[in-house]
């Protein structure tokens, strides 16, 4: 049981390039989330989804887009990468309802030059 899988694990981009981060979960979770983690700032929610075909903005959505075409996948896109988007990106998923734990992937380390 793989849980939450993120690809790629590392990536270096040049300013202005675009890319898509993929998150896949095999736990049949309804909810999925994208966070970024920066030194001294904890994890901040970028976008999230409460079900297939739905997306919503989190705390820091600017510069990112997401899609949830299939229940098991949640894609995070950067249309025109900026150095301020250098970060570690984490995907998480959970069952619906209160008091459910979120299950995290191991992160994607993204550097934008």
Partner 1 sequence: TQLLEQSPQFLSIQEGENLTVYCNSSSVFSSLQWYRQEPGEGPVLLVTVVTGGEVKKLKRLTFQFGDARKDSSLHITAAQPGDTGLYLCADQETSGSRLTFGEGTQLTVNP
Q: Where along the sequence are the contacts to partner 1 (CB under 8 A)?
A: 4, 31, 33, 35, 40-45, 48, 50, 56, 58-59, 90, 92, 94, 96-102, 104-107
The nearer residue to partner 1, 48 or 74, going by C-beta atoms, is: 48
Q: How far is the CB of 82 from partner 1 (least distance, A)?
A: 23
Q: How far is the CB of 62 from partner 1 (least distance, A)?
A: 16
Judge whether 62 and 80 are in contact, CB under 8 Å. Answer: no
What is the C-alpha to C-alpha distance for residues 109 and 11, in angstroms, rounded to an integer?
Answer: 6
What is the C-alpha to C-alpha distance for residues 92 and 57, in angstroms, rounded to an integer?
Answer: 15
What backbone phi and psi angles, to 5 degrees, belong to 84?
-70, -10
Q: How far is the CB of 11 from partner 1 (least distance, A)?
A: 16
């Amino acid at each position: 049981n793989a849980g939450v899988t993120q690809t790629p694990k590392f990536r270096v981009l040049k300013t202005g390039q675009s890319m898509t981060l993929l998150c896949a979960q095999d736990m049949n979770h309804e909810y999925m989330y994208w966070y970024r983690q920066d030194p001294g700032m904890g994890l901040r929610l970028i976008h999230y989804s409460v079900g297939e075909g739905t997306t919503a903005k989190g705390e820091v959505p600017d510069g990112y887009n997401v899609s949830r075409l299939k229940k098991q996948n949640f894609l995070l896109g950067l249309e025109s990468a900026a150095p301020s988007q250098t970060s570690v990106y984490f995907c998480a998923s959970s069952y619906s309802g209160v008091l459910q734990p979120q299950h995290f992937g191991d992160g994607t380390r993204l550097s934008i030059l």
